[in-house]
Amino acid sequence: MGCDGCAVHLIYTPSQESSIVRYTGASYFSTMQASATRICNVEKRLRPLIDEFDDLGFSSGEVKREVLRDPVILGLENGEITRCLKMLRSLKCRIAIKDHIFRHGELRAGYEVKLRISCLRKHGLLYRDAFAVLWKEPRVILYEIGEIEKKIEFLVRKMRFDIQCLVEVPEYLGLNLDKQIVPRFKVIDHLRSNGGLGDEVRLANLVKFSKLKFYNMYVKPYPELEKIYARFSGEVQVQSRHPVGMWKLFTPRQYLESKEDAKTISVARKGRLPLVRCVSRSLEERECSDISA
């Protein structure tokens, strides 16, 4: 290695090789050759990656900071970080989520995507399917790897769904495991064990239903499930939109029915005149009487 940190190729002439072998021994010379080979391999391996960082516009300071934070970033395949950033820049999500993803810079964000892609692929998803899941549910990029693996393990082992269901319902990874997924699954599992389900519940119904819709469909008809479904059990109640007694302010004003109104309605019921004509005639007669009075 040179003083500036660049790799230096070690080249020996035949006379130099014989001198090294004579004075230092063959083992030392073999070690030197192996070290030179490793240096050349590292240079060949890292040069395309460094060039890729330069093409993406990353400064040397930013690259150095991320390498010191996690040296594994140097193990990225050629073009991998470019694909991750291309996906990130095409996200269609809320501005707050996108800003949170890029809070530490684009290089860190792209590397976080790479880690989650590897996690999903490890559990059986294809490369393009893993990208599709992250693009549809960007919040997964903000979750820790351990939390994602816990959700996948619960999905496959406990809920008995295939990992490919995540491609159709990526929203599953965006829900809270303890507060949303587990209570709903307990309700469905209880109904399934007691024969209370006519048709098998799909993952989309379990995940995409709102809290109120899920409660009305699966919990409300069965009072014993109130305690199982944590969101609507015991202490938690669904509050109405208006305070108690507010309906009195919206009650329409009632008027006493006069003899003329009763006569008009009876005539309309007998089919002699349309109700609108009867009402209008009654109003005209009432106005005339008021004017004469």
The radius of gyration computed from the CA coordinates of the chain, to the nearest angstrom, equals: 37
Check: CB of residue 138 under 8 Å from CB of residue 101.
Answer: yes
Q: For 4-56, how does the pLDDT look when each residue is reduced to its tens digit (9 = 90+)?
A: 444 434 444 444 444 434 434 445 445 445 555 555 566 677 888 888 888 99
Q: For 238-279, how does the pLDDT look when each residue is reduced to its tens digit (9 = 90+)?
A: 444 455 555 556 666 666 566 676 666 666 566 554 544 555
Percent of the chain with pLDDT over 70: 63
Q: Give the separation between CA 42 and CA 133, rounded to whole angstroms.
A: 34
Which of these ranges, 58-62, 107-111, 120-124, 280-284, has the smallest mean pLDDT?
280-284
Q: Give the separation between CA 141 and CA 241, rounded to whole angstroms.
A: 36
**142, burial (CB in 10 Å: exposed 0-12, middle 13-18, buried 19+):** middle
Enumerate the domain spans of the chain. 1-48, 56-174, 175-238
Q: For 75-111, how does the pLDDT look when each residue is reduced to its tens digit (9 = 90+)?
A: 888 899 999 999 999 998 899 999 999 999 999 999 9
271 or 69: which carries more pLDDT confidence? Answer: 69
DSSP class of residue 252 equals P
Work out the mean pLDDT of the chain and round it to a whole number.
76
